[in-house]
Structures are given as structure tokens and as C-alpha cells.
Amino acid sequence: MQDSKKYTEAELVSLLKERQQPVFSYLYDNYSGALFSVINAIIPDKDTAGDVLQEVFVKIWKQSATYDATKGRLFTWMMNIARNASIDMLRSKNYQHNAQNRELTGNVYEQVGTTVTNIDQIGLRKLVHTLKSEQKVLVELSYFEGYTQDEISKMLNIPLGTVKTRLRAALLQLRELVKN
């Protein structure tokens, strides 16, 4: 870390809008690791996840004026930018094409010498994997794969209302896991 000074969140938010280089450097040093784990839990390939992180920081920097502190914390805002960008990447034709190529050459997680991580072991996804399976699948499809509840209802053949209540119950369970 270049700058040992710690900003409070309110200070950081107002400095961000001044758009000076040292603030960006500070933001990167403090938040890149946490945001990278959010991305890496969705995009296992480290290089691609790095590209997404780059895009995310450019977005954070250019859109800092749109952040509204009354709607939530700065990290929540950045985390949602990171998740959306990761899911966009997951859905992109290019990425799916590459993923197919990886499947053709063997199991993604067992290849020697690649930087692909086992996503089940990363951050929030690790906690989600301890949920019971009917809850796990809903959080997986909605949070990590970005499907809407309507799409999930059709995919799994479960009524939309049930998807909603089960997902809410799963998130409450997840809240308890995050606490510990």
C-alpha cells in the first residue's frame, strides 16, 4: 500500500468525486482484493476475472457520480457492479465459446498448469455450498449465474411463488452463515 492513511467511507466518497489519481490508487489498494474474490467466485479463470476487475474499476471510476449513499454502502454498490460485470462476461458469446473449448480438452478443474480456480472454494460461494441442496441450487442460479426468478421457475419446474419463498429462506440462512 502506497498510502498508509485510512479514509472513512464518507471521506472516500467525497474524494472520489474530485477524481484525483492518489484516490484511485487508494481505492484500488483497499478494495481490489475483496472485489476480485466476488468476481472470481463467478469467473473461475484468473485471466478473464482480471479483465473483468479492470472493467469494474473503470466503471467505478467513471460512474462514481451516480453512487447514492442513501441507498447503501459504497462496497455494496461496487460489489453489485462487480457481480453484474461478471455475469455479463459469463453470458458473453466469447466466454461461452472458450468455456466449451475448455470442456473439450478435459475437466476444467483438473488441468495441470492453468490458473483456473475451483469456484466452490471461493468466498461467498463456499458458504452457499453448505446450504441444503434445494436452497443451494436457487442461490447458485440467481446470484452466481444471474437467472431471473421467472426463468428459474421454468427451468426447475417449480411455481414462481415457491422459488421466491425458498430463495428468501436461503438468503436468511446465508445471513446466519455470513455472521459466523
Helix, strand or coil, per DSSP, at residue 27: helix
Task: Between 106 and 118, name the residue whose CB sits nearer to other proteins.
Answer: 118
Nearest distance from C-beta of residue 104 to other proteins, angstroms = 22
CB < 8 Å & 24+ apart, contacts of 1-8: 1/29, 1/30, 2/26, 2/29, 3/29
136 binds other proteins per the rule CB under 8 A: no
Residue burial 132-141, b: 16+ Cβ < 10 Å; e: rest: eeebbbbbbb
Q: Which of 3, 69, 73, 103: binder of other proteins (CB under 8 A)?
A: 73
Q: Which of 16, 43, 44, 83: binder of other proteins (CB under 8 A)?
A: 83
80 binds other proteins per the rule CB under 8 A: yes
171 binds other proteins per the rule CB under 8 A: yes
Q: Angle, to 10 degrees, between the axis of helix 46-62 and the axis of helix 21-40?
A: 140
Q: Which of 100, 107, 133, 157: binder of other proteins (CB under 8 A)?
A: 157
Q: Which of 12, 50, 95, 114: binder of other proteins (CB under 8 A)?
A: 50
Cell of 71: 441507498
Nearest distance from C-beta of residue 45 to other proteins, angstroms = 12
* Burial degree of 52 (CB within 10 A; 0-12, 13-18, 19+): buried
Cell of 131: 446450504
Q: Which of 42, 79, 89, 137: binder of other proteins (CB under 8 A)?
A: 79
**145, β-bridge pairs:** none
**Contacts with other proteins, residue ranges (CB under 8 A):** 18-22, 24-25, 28-29, 32-38, 40, 46-47, 49-50, 53-54, 57-58, 61-62, 70-73, 75-76, 79-80, 83-84, 122-124, 126-127, 142-143, 154, 157, 167-169, 171-172, 174-175, 178-179
